Structure 1
Amino acid sequence: MLALMAAGSVFFPGIFLVSRLTLRFVMGWSEADATVVSVRGVSSVQAAMASAAGYVIASSCLDVMEDKHWLTDAYISFAAPYFVYDVFAMFLCHRHKRQQQEGVHLATFVRREVLMVLHHAFMVLFCLPASLVWRRGKGDYFQGLLLLAELSTPCVSLAKVLMQLKKEHTLLYKVNGALMLLVFFGCRVLLFPYLYLAYSRYVYLPVHQVVLEAPWQCNVGVAMLWPLQIYWLTLMCRRALRLLTRRSDADAKKTA
């Protein structure tokens, strides 16, 4: 486990550094663009790996509680350092976006991105021990489903990259935005009710009674993570609505 964590501690920052150096000195990009694109690229790599691992795990477990797959603990251990790295990486993005402003410090970043920072801290301080220790080797199927939540990350990352590169007017941005909303809703928002539905079928109980039967770690995790996903989806929908409204106003002015 420690060896895998050490490997992850080298792997994710290593990809970031190689990507940023390549974009800056080979492609000639600015430091800000190279940093943001590299950060989002690493996020997409992690998401692709997590989704692939989640699919393999979930599809291999017929018994949702007792069946085990070696990849479960292995990938969770390997990916744990990513959430620590990602906080620092997001701070770099924050700093480059506001490089013309004064007072851009870590404390400023934490205040502006407090929900994201708390989310990452919760993943490391609670979800990591819950996944590796507290569940006692049971429920690999559910761990696989949770890893599949990362399917939405490449779409989110691409949206951030296109915004950084001032490509918000392109068809790619619009198509990616629609896909991002659909995938985020399915993999992040509907995921948690489905976990309870799958467990209710396993224990032959109505869904509304499963909360009392489910392990306490699951209830705490859902209570902390699900509202955040709903909140972030709401923000995405608001942004999409603003873009549509702005476009409608622009079209109206052209025809006036």
Structure 2
Amino acid sequence: LVSSVHAVLATGSGIVIIRSCDDVITGRHWLAREYVWFLIPYMIYDSYAMYLCDWCRTRDQNRGPSLTLRNFLSRNRLMITHHAVILFVLVPVAQSLRGDLGDFFVGCIFMAELSTPFVSLGRVLIQLKQQHTLLYKVNGILTLATFFCCRILLFPFMYWSYGRQQGLSLLQVPFSIPFYCNIANAFLVAPQLYWFCLLCRKAVRLFDTPQAKKDG
């Protein structure tokens, strides 16, 4: 529930920021800076909530706290790294290092949270053992669609938006911006591509199951 509320607020903030910035570089909106203060405690909470869930699943195994923590970090290293990068890299960039530039792109990054409610609903349905219901399948399709649009296509959209304003084609933009911007975007999109591949594999298994049973 908390993740979904955060996702709605972040997505709403992103939409407002994007629509308010006529200039993708110098356009300003106060939410681009102020919403980050809400993002910080959420990321800390989300990391702790994941640890508590992991601890509840493994507490019957009589593991010590240090071993439980190590196993948690090992199993969730990509997600923990993702949260750490947001807290220790993206937050300083968004709050101070970028100066007064780039509110539009901050709004775009906020939009990446649109898929979170669908991901959360999918997990709830799994816990309720509703994997074979129509709701679960429809939610899976919406998860894939929102994840692809707001976490994968988001990056070409930002390049395209910059290029349109500067009179450049999409292919010209990577060569017209600082190299570190391309590197940063590559680091941001890489885990999204990995997670999207996992979602696609899961979707294939889900929709192949009825046919496999029928053939059997």
TM-score > 0.5 by shorter chain: yes
Partner of 2:7: 47
Relative distance call for 1:52 and 1:65 in structure 2 (3 A) is same
Indicate whether 1:60 and 2:20 are aligned: yes
Cα distance in 2 between the residues matched to 1:78 and 1:217: 27
1:226 Cα deviation (Å)? 0.3
Kindly provide the amino acid, as one letter, of the partner of residue 37 in structure 2: S
Where do residues 148-159 of structure 1 align in structure 2 (5 Å cutoff)?
148-159=111-122
Indicate whether 1:130 and 2:93 are aligned: yes
Cα distance in 1 between the residues matched to 2:75 and 2:215: 35
Kindly provide the amino acid, as one letter, of the partner of residue 191 in structure 2: L
Cα distance in 2 between the residues matched to 1:141 and 1:123: 18
Cα distance in 1 between the residues matched to 2:94 and 2:184: 11
SS, match of residue 207 in structure 1: coil
1:180 Cα deviation (Å)? 0.5
Relative to the length of structure 2, the TM-score reads: 0.92
- The correspondence for 1:234, drawn from 197, 201, 205, is 197
Kindly provide the amino acid, as one letter, of the partner of residue 147 in structure 1: F
Q: For residues 69-99 of structure 1, what are the alpha-carbon distances to aligned partners after superposition, in whole Å with 9 as ceiling and x for unaligned?
A: 1111010122122112211111112223344
Where do residues 188-199 of structure 1 align in structure 2 (5 Å cutoff)?
188-199=151-162
1:218 Cα deviation (Å)? 3.3
Relative to the length of structure 1, the TM-score reads: 0.78
Partner of 1:86: 46
- The correspondence for 1:109, drawn from 67, 72, 87, is 72
- The correspondence for 1:182, drawn from 145, 152, 161, is 145
SS, match of residue 248 in structure 1: helix
Kindly provide the amino acid, as one letter, of the partner of residue 28 in structure 2: K
Cα distance in 2 between the residues matched to 1:98 and 1:164: 16
Partner of 1:15: none
Identity of aligned residues (%): 44
Gapped runs of 5+ residues in structure 1? 1-40
- Contact 1:130/1:217 (CA < 8 Å) preserved in 2? no
Partner of 1:35: none
Relative distance call for 1:101 and 1:249 in structure 2 (3 A) is farther
State the number of aligned residues. Answer: 213
Moved more, 205-214 or 70-79: 205-214
1:113 Cα deviation (Å)? 0.8
Relative distance call for 1:44 and 1:125 in structure 2 (3 A) is same
Relative contact order higher in (CA < 8 Å, ≥ 6 apart): 2
Kindly provide the amino acid, as one letter, of the partner of residue 135 in structure 1: R
